[in-house]
Amino acid sequence: MVSQGDHIWEIRNPDGGMLGLEVARAVLAATDCVLAHSISERVDVEVRDPSGQVVAKAEGLSAEGATPMARLSIEGASVTRRQVWPDESDIGRPVILPGGEVGILLSWWNAEDGSEWRWRVEFHNAK
């Protein structure tokens, strides 16, 4: 259920099928920055308010680098993408998983060479 003060983040792979493929559709408290785990090489992103009005969007955001996380940020009426290894500034940030589940990043560690990583995410649902 979408509440006042929420945003709906829609992430689609424009390269799949005739109309693209949905990667995730997530509802979360309004924020200007999220992490997205294992999203497609290229994505379209739309962020909407509870009434369906577009807050920000971008098409064809390409991955630059090979990391498991992308930082998606609202800048004006646009969305930017940056492939990242999360850092301390990302602790407490929402993480959107493929399919649309949203968790909060509690911790992150990765090897310097990117060969391994460990992370903890918390999920909480309330009705």
The two tokens of residue 111 are 């090897």
| pLDDT recorded at residue 88 | 97
- Single pTM value for the model: 0.94
| pLDDT recorded at residue 18 | 83
- How would residue 127 be classed by pLDDT, with cut points 50, 70 and 90? low
1 within domain boundaries: no
18 within domain boundaries: yes
Mean pLDDT of the chain: 95
> What residue numbers bound the domain in which 105 lies?
6-122
- As a whole number, mean pLDDT of residues 55-77 equals 96
- As a whole number, mean pLDDT of residues 66-79 equals 97
CB count, 10 Å around CB of 76? 7
- How would residue 126 be classed by pLDDT, with cut points 50, 70 and 90? confident
Structural domains of the chain, count: 1
Q: Render 70-103 in DSSP notation, one character per residue.
A: EEEEEETTEEEEEEE---GGGTT-EEEPTTS-EE
The two tokens of residue 22 are 């949905």
